[in-house]
Amino acid sequence: MREDTMWGNIFRKAEKEDSNIYAVLSKVPIFSDLNKKELRAIERILHRRKYKENEILLKEGDPGVGMYIIEKGRVNIKLGKEEKLLAVLSDGEFFGEIALLSEIPRTATAIATIDTQILGFFQSDLFGLTETNPRMGNKILYRLAQMIAERLRFSNIENQQLKLKLSDLENKLKSRKVS
């Protein structure tokens, strides 16, 4: 079969698209322990969604149901009524992973700034996975726990530093009052 036949092109395109997904997925920390076969299983349960420029992906205050991985495009993460820009995320980056564990309200709003294609991985799919394929489910949950533990450690350090600064300030204030 010649390279430029219609079928050849169709298959080549499909392969290219698939390998793109795997490249994106393998960069996401919670999937980093999975092999290619397992990534293929993940790809089957992910929801691919397309958003137009300025379309809202998720709104602050809505219940969280899962995480989003940006396959292609750009997303702004904004906070509060004043829409303070927290982050600009693009290809391969992800957000909303806490919602995989708990249905707490979303802490920020995500808006697509250009036409964006995302992959949604949801709590229900993760729970389903832990039932149908516990080994794989465990690998993902372990990575998720590790990621959150790491974040907690950073927050603790930050918290301690802030406490130190606060007590310093309090001490300074006290000494000023005394003098």
Partner 1 sequence: MEYTVGRFLRLIVAILFLLVIGWLLFTLSNIIRIIIISFLIAYILDPLASYFEARGLSRNNATIIIFLTFFIVLAAVGAVVFPTLFNELSMMQNSISPEGTTVFISSIEEYIKANFNFINVESLNLSERINNFLSGITDQLLSILANVVSIISILVIIPFVVFFLLKDGRRMKKVFISYIPNRYFEMALNVIHKIDLQLGGYLRGQFTEAFIVGTLAVIALWILNVQYFIVIGVFAGLANMIPYVGPVAGAVPAIIVSLVNGGDATRILYIVIAFAIVQLIDNVVLQPLVLSKSVNLHPLIIVFAVLIGGQFFGILGMLLAVPAAGIIKVTSSELYNGIRKFNII
Residues lying near partner 1 in the complex (CB under 8 A): 45, 47-49, 51, 55, 57-59, 61-63, 65-66, 120, 122-124, 128, 131-134
The token duo for 150 is: 């790491």
Q: How far is the CB of 98 from partner 1 (least distance, A)?
A: 15
The token duo for 87 is: 């982050």
Closest CA to 165 of 176, 177, 175, 173: 173
Residues 91/53, Cβ–Cβ less than 8 Å:
no
Euclidean distance between CA atoms 45 and 100, whole angstroms:
14
Of 80 and 134, nearer to partner 1 (C-beta) is: 134
Radius of gyration of the chain (CA): 22
Euclidean distance between CA atoms 177 and 169, whole angstroms:
12
Of 29 and 128, nearer to partner 1 (C-beta) is: 128
Q: How far is the CB of 23 from partner 1 (least distance, A)?
A: 22
Q: How far is the CB of 116 from partner 1 (least distance, A)?
A: 11
Of 80 and 128, nearer to partner 1 (C-beta) is: 128
Q: How far is the CB of 63 from partner 1 (least distance, A)?
A: 5
